[in-house]
Structure 1
């Protein structure tokens, strides 16, 4: 009888621990919140004059790439390829994406991937204003780059993802989506099982008079926004912006090559709504006009939806027919 009771206690304890582990996997909790202070530090460097507008093929974008590489190393995120740089050519210009991966913790689902990306290049210079010709690109797209790096930190510290997550920063976007086109083709050639792609673009300032935090391009192409909001405890995080459809923004950012080449839900998340920021491709696109508090709130609100995407057993986010 004593052995039976001991065995029963062991069974109950094992079942309880298994339940805890299962619940933890279903509802992962970030290690720490993303802060406005950390966002501001990253934005300050990436949009500084020292980077001279981060044009692809210049010393400025090289400095940005080194910054990104050091961050990936600090987070112990391995390179997806043989190193962090995914090289390509634009005529005689050398371009490179920066690509790291967080392996999933489920033996089966880790072979399915989510890609979170943004372009880290900008245009270099623009029409001078009061002697300043450096187009710093704080909102376009240091903000999106910082978003990817901050999400990478939360998710890497959490280690709660069943699916694997690729973090990709693209160059050559301003030259015609060249970096994302190259990476999408390379992943397709490897027959990568890419579930979905989220692209962060111009998230540095909040939207005006909207009942959602950010919009997704190609809203009607998939159920991404609907499922993402459901995953976020029914908060309305993502919504529809009519201007995005009118201007066909779905095809004008780094999400599109992944949709076009891999036929998956691949959409851009943005808060630039054409009424809340006057400095698109302008030399005044600088750090002082960014809103780190807004960015911190948005990024923290994106985390639960991303975690749920990474952990649901079925691929619930699908293209609409």
Structure 2
């Protein structure tokens, strides 16, 4: 979740993408078979979350080797499930990034274009990768519409050491949501919904939602045909204000018909219990909402003090809670992808971008 107020050429990055598309990730664990019941298994989410939040991923910072490694891992998991790729290069959607010339540490990033990227000097050109896949809808009358289901897989990378640890692993923020979307992919691959579902693993959320902003300029399904967006962020620990383990909250619950639809379907989500934190406008749902897509976030962030610190480690995750809330998220996605097209409630849509 975004906090409030290597030299690589384009060709080298694309070569990396092509090679990664051609083979499964060497670091990816073999996904367990889906149980006959379709239930999310604790051991599956635990294995994947430990993989994504491992020190070898180097904190998954946007435009770094660790970020690329995580993208390869995700593509390998999707490929093993048999989910259809929907990026520019297989599962990868290349995001061109420019490093701010006034930032000697190279941590302030902004979007650029592919043409401009090729002309940048060595220290200022980077590429990052959204990972994008598609599960076609089963209903010919609705398959041209899509529900986008996402999580950001990037985090803060390597930074100032805390208690001797300089890798900011981002287990809760947002390996937890990323793993949930992998499980959603597995469930919908086994039994597709009526609408098409776009699985969107975004890069660059922590540095200005760069991956989402790029996707909106280059959507897999036109924005006017994108019926809804549901993002999963920070579900690694229970929140007592949401009802405890296995329950979560939804940002902007009453802004659109999504909240009422999920409640009617029995999804264990309550309205965001901390509206003063303005979480609705602090994650990858926000750019989608601003262009008119009813888009919300499922979370159970309880304001724990490991947020954006090196202590956000896989060993501190409540895995039965993640599995239960992921199961709820699968029901939520099916509700949106099978039911009436969500609409904004009066006054609920945020202002369009300037």
Per the normalisation by structure 2, the TM-score is 0.76
Report which stretch shifted further, 122-131 or 39-48. Answer: 122-131
1:319 aligns with 2:344: yes
Give the whole-Å Cα distance in 2 for the aligned partners of 1:294 and 1:99.
Answer: 26
TM-superposed deviation, 1:297: 0.8
Deviations 1:223-281 (A, max 9, x none): 2121112123xx5x1212342x21222111000111112x021011110022xx22011
Cα 1:191–1:296 change in 2 (3 A) is closer
CA deviation after TM superposition for structure 1 residue 93, in Å: 2.2
Aligned residues: 283
CA distance change for structure 1 residues 116 and 163 in 2, over 3 Å: closer, same or farther? Answer: same
SS in 1 for 2:254: helix
Instruction: Return the offset for 1:87.
Output: 1.2
1:179-218 equivalences in 2 (<5 Å): 179-187=211-219, 190-191=222-223, 193-211=225-243, 213-218=247-252
Secondary structure in structure 1 of the residue aligned to 2:38: coil
Are the counterparts in 1 of residues 136 and 197 from structure 2 also a CA contact under 8 Å? yes
Distance (Å, rounded) in 2 between the aligned partners of 1:272 and 1:169: 19
Structure 1 residue 239 corresponds to structure 2 residue 246: no
In the alignment, is residue 90 of structure 1 matched against residue 124 of structure 2? no
RMSD of Structure 2 on Structure 1 (CA): 1.9
Alignment correspondent of 1:230:
264
Instruction: Tell me which residue corresponds to 1:300.
Output: 327
When normalised by structure 1's length, the TM-score is: 0.84
Say whether 1:251 aligns with 2:258. no
Q: Which residue of 2 aligns with 1:219?
A: 253
* Matches for 1:1-321 after TM superposition, within 5 Å: 31-82=37-88, 83-91=90-98, 92-159=125-192, 161-187=193-219, 190-191=222-223, 193-211=225-243, 213-232=247-266, 237-243=268-274, 245-261=275-291, 263-274=292-303, 277-312=304-339, 314-315=340-341, 317-321=342-346
Offset at residue 294 of structure 1 (A)? 0.2
Structure 2: any 5+ residue segments left out of the alignment? 1-34, 99-124, 347-354
2:152 & 2:201 partners in 1: Cα distance?
A: 5
Q: Aligned in 2, Cα 1:318/1:281: closer, same or farther, shift over 3 Å? A: same
CA contact (8 A) 2:61 2:155 kept: yes
- Between Structure 1 and Structure 2, the one with more helix by share is 1
Is the radius of gyration larger for structure 1 or structure 2?
A: 1
**Contact 1:162–1:310 (CA<8 Å) still a contact in 2?**
yes
Gapped regions of structure 1 (runs ≥ 5): 1-28
